[in-house]
């Protein structure tokens, strides 16, 4: 990583409790001779009128490091925006440590100090590029970090989908929906739908049916170099969701295309970062029944 001179601090939206730790971290960074910038929403909620305020695109162009204070949801939103700029990200969690925000607010100064001294591990995470095509028109084109989901609507009726990978027919699916997840998204919605946990270093896509009518429709892992195509055969009240940050109402004949995005996320972790240790803690694998 290049020499760090400018650090961006980005806080969870509408969370006044981030003000104290964020301002403490800003003073710590400035004490090390670094410039600190913040985004407009963070500036409003922490009441900081001293430091340079830049929109996220400006942060992407000027910051050498971005520290996100909040939780995994905040990191997801910020990462999608900063990905084209290849700004390394550090996640500080205000509550229980997350899958992406693995630095405790109680130890953040020591941890950030170590990272600034070059003591860190780098992890690259893939993003998903998704588009919705209706006849000859592209009605939506969006980037997702976790997953792209096609789901039934409020009327509760099952939807019929036809799934192809690289143009090859896979199956017809009658279900509540289908999730196409990145390795990062394998521990999110896809996990609750019965999908596998995928190590973040792998370049794969998970196709996870949601409550399929035929129980033999199981999750499938395909190469991240593949293009997944989902044809809406019977829409009912179907919708496509992208990380839950945006959605698109679907019609019969719509096609949803999902592939690997050309941009990546670059996360910096403490040197002691251990994916399996994190899983044990988050999923309580070490707990015995009845304890």
How far is 263 from 86, CA to CA, in rounded Å? 8
DSSP conformation class of 18: G
CB atoms within 10 A of CB 155: 7
CB atoms within 10 A of CB 235: 20
Label the pairing between strands 52-53 and 65-70.
unpaired
Q: Give the bridge partners for 245, in sequence order.
A: none
Choose the catalytic residue: 39, 72, 102, 147. 72
- Assess whether 72 carries a catalytic annotation: yes
Q: What does the block give as tokens for 13?
A: 């939206």
How far is 40 from 285, CA to CA, in rounded Å? 40
Q: What does the block give as tokens for 251?
A: 């019609």
Catalytic site residues? Answer: 72
């Amino acid at each position: 990583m290049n020499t760090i001179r400018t650090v961006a601090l980005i806080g969870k939206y509408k969370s006044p409790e981030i003000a104290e730790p964020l301002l403490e971290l800003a003073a710590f960074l400035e004490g090390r001779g670094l410039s600190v910038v913040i985004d407009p929403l963070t500036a409003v909620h922490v009441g900081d009128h001293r430091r340079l305020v830049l929109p996220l695109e400006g942060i992407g162009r000027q910051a050498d490091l971005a520290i996100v204070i909040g939780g995994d949801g905040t990191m997801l939103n910020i990462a999608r925006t900063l990905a084209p700029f290849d700004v390394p990200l550090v996640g500080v969690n205000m509550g229980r440590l997350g899958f992406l925000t693995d630095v405790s607010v109680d130890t953040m100064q020591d941890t950030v100090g170590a990272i600034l001294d070059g003591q860190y591990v780098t992890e690259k995470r893939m993003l998903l590029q998704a588009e919705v095509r209706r006849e000859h028109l592209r009605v939506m084109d969006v980037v997702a970090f976790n997953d792209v989901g096609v789901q039934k609507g409020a009327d509760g009726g099952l939807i019929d989908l036809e799934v192809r990978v690289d143009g090859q027919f896979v199956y017809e699916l009658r279900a509540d929906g289908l999730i196409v997840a990145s390795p990062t998204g394998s521990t999110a919605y896809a996990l609750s739908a019965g999908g596998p946990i995928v190590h973040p270093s792998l370049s794969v896509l998970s196709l996870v049916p949601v409550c399929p009518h035929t129980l033999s429709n199981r999750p499938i892992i395909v190469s991240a170099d593949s293009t997944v195509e989902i044809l809406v055969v019977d829409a009912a009240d179907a919708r496509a969701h992208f990380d839950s940050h945006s959605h698109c109402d679907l019609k019969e004949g719509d096609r949803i295309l999902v592939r690997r995005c050309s941009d990546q996320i670059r996360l910096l972790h403490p040197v002691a970062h251990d994916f399996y240790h994190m899983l044990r803690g988050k999923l309580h694998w070490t707990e015995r029944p009845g304890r």
